[in-house]
Amino acid sequence: MLEIVLLAMVAGFILLRLRGELGKKTGNEPLPPAAGHPSGPALDRDDGRDVEAESQPYDTPGADVIDLEENPALRRAYQDIRRADRSFDVAIFLDGAKSAYGMILEAFWAGDKETLKTFLDDSVYEQFAGAVDQRAKDGLTLENKLVDVTEIDVIAARLIDKVAELTVHFRSEIVAVTKDKDGNLVEGNMSDVVEMNDKWTFARNTRSRDPNWTLLATRAG
């Protein structure tokens, strides 16, 4: 009986020590990161500032997207561009590229060379402007409409002498209609949607304070 009492006393003492060491959960403990996913930059909830974790090479949210890029060539190119321009963000770039795609197409269809000049490299502008002039000379007008951009993704990227170049594949649906100077239909149909595949290359000098990208080259397919 004495041995049983002694064992019970020892067990009770150990239990009390464990409770004293571990304490009780208050509900304010940090949650563990999701399984298999490294934690990103810590966030100071008192003042809202981003605190860079030592394991993170960059201090902006887009770094996670770059790290998760499956294509190793693209991932290395993104990292090179980020080192040259820490504000570079793939998602923001694609949003801008999508908007630029629509504005450039609509300006070209409308023959708006002034708008085209703000978006295009000089050599690309000459090609677009030449096509606009030839269309006017032939007395043709376009009544095209961009219905939707169904797919957009970066297929190539590189950094050359601080100039970042990204090639984007656009898959889109448009209504393409050409009319002559009398308004007669020459080609296309307002009820038909045509699928387009374009590969456009945008460039930007990472040393420039101008955040805008310039259309450097275009090709179909």
Evaluate if residue 103 carries a pLDDT over 90: yes
Q: Domain ranges for the chain, please list them.
A: 59-220
Rounded distance, CA 142 to CA 108, Å? 9
- Closest-CA residue to 180 (of 140, 131, 132, 133): 140
- Beta strands, E only, 161-220: 163-175, 177-179, 185-188, 194-205, 214-220
Helix axes 90-110, 122-137, angle to 10 degrees: 30
pLDDT of 31 > 80? The answer is no
Round to whole Å and give the CA distance between 119 and 210. Answer: 13
Q: What is the pLDDT of residue 20?
A: 34
> pLDDT category, 8, cuts 50, 70, 90?
very low
- How does pLDDT run across 121-132, given as a tens digit for each residue? 999 999 999 999
Q: What is the pLDDT of residue 190?
A: 87
User: What pTM does this model have?
Assistant: 0.69
Residue type, 215: L
Structure-token match 């504000």, residue found: 87
CB 177 within 8 A of CB 144: yes
Give 156-170 pLDDT, tens digit per residue.
Answer: 999 999 999 999 999
- Mean per-residue pLDDT over the chain, rounded: 77
The torsion angle over the Cα atoms of residues 64, 67, 70 and 75, rounded to 10 degrees, is: 120
pLDDT in tens, 33-85: 222 222 222 222 233 322 222 233 434 445 556 766 778 999 999 999 999 99
Find the range with the poorest average confidence among 21-35, 146-160, 166-180: 21-35
Fold assignment, 59-220: Nuclear Transport Factor 2; Chain: A, (3.10.450)
pLDDT for 119: 95
User: Which pLDDT score, from 0 to 100, does residue 10 have?
Assistant: 43
